Amino acid sequence: MESKLLQKLKYASQLTAQEKHIVDYILSNPEVVFDSTAHELAQQTYTSSSTIVRLCKKLGTKGYPDFQLKLALEYQQIPSALQTQDHVIAEQGNVLAAIDSVPYLYQQALDDTRRMLNAPVLLRIANWVKESVRIDVYGSDMNYYLAQQACAKWNELGISAIAHNSPNMHYLNTMNPNSLTLSFVISHTGENQSMIEAAKVLSNKQMKVIAITGNNHSTLSRHCDETLLAYGYNEQLRLSKMSSMVSVLYIFDMLYMGSISDTY
């Protein structure tokens, strides 16, 4: 179970740009707090001691020493084998270790996805889902199976939804621009050429298109109306594939939950 203070760090709001930078720095390596004074942490983050102390108070502690103590006490409660992803990766092939490491990976993916969510964008897309007559979800390889799962849930609600594992150019080119079709395009890197091509055609027809990707500045995002950020996929880390799948399903399940109230 993740510590309350780490949760506060992840979801803290109304922070200045400097405070956000400090938070990101601490989250990347929480143990740096235990080995640094406020002055040393300020030097490492190119901020000031007063900014460090102000942030600690915003997080509900009395100051930096209190923040250090509380974070240390809570951090000790996290199983040592789960404190960094490197340890989890080292446990690959150990089915007993997976009892703890799999839930940890899931939780990390969910927490990171939640942290990247833009609430106004999510609400806007949820309203588009309600207004649509049909939903198309595009995804290749494993993303196609995620698209199928998302569509199956919407179909159960009576919302017409179809998964596509590649862009059908005949279908795309003959679509009526006035049709209330909402399209989601999944690409973890945002650089999958077939997914980009689908987004381009849909965008040129003035259709609403949403990118689900780990890269907000990707080519795919530039051709979509909105972007929902998913947990980034790293080809060099096998376990990141599992985390990115959980992240995408979480995004679709939130939109699915938003569809239920008006349907039942």
For the chain, percent of residues with pLDDT exceeding 90: 50
Fold of 117-260: Rossmann fold (3.40.50)
Q: Are 243 and 218 in contact (CB under 8 A)?
A: no
- Give CATH for domain 1-78: 1.10.10.10
Cα separation, 38 vs 61, whole angstroms: 14
Region of residue 61 (phi > 0: left; psi between -120 and 50: alpha; otherwise: beta): beta
DSSP H helices in the chain: 4-11, 17-28, 38-45, 49-58, 64-75, 85-90, 98-116, 119-131, 142-156, 169-173, 193-204, 219-222, 238-260
pLDDT band at 239 (very low <50, low <70, confident <90, very high): low
**How much is the pTM?**
0.68
Output the pLDDT for position 6. 76
pLDDT band at 90 (very low <50, low <70, confident <90, very high): very low
Output the pLDDT for position 78. 55
Please report, for the chain, the start and end positions of each structural domain, with discontinuous segments joined by +.
1-78, 117-260
Report CA-CA distances (Å) from 65 to 12, 28, 33, 43, 75: 19, 20, 10, 17, 15
Output the pLDDT for position 257. 94
What mean pLDDT comes out for the span 245-255?
95
pLDDT band at 246 (very low <50, low <70, confident <90, very high): very high
pLDDT band at 162 (very low <50, low <70, confident <90, very high): very high
- List, for residues 135-161, the tens digit of each pLDDT value: 999 999 989 999 999 999 999 999 999
What mean pLDDT comes out for the span 35-48?
92
Q: Are 159 and 133 in contact (CB under 8 A)?
A: no
Angle at 243 between CA 241 and CA 248, to 5 degrees: 95
- List, for residues 96-130, the tens digit of each pLDDT value: 777 777 787 788 888 888 888 899 999 999 999 99
Output the pLDDT for position 81. 40
What mean pLDDT comes out for the span 210-229?
94
Output the pLDDT for position 2. 46
Average pLDDT over all residues of the chain: 85
For the chain, percent of residues with pLDDT exceeding 70: 86
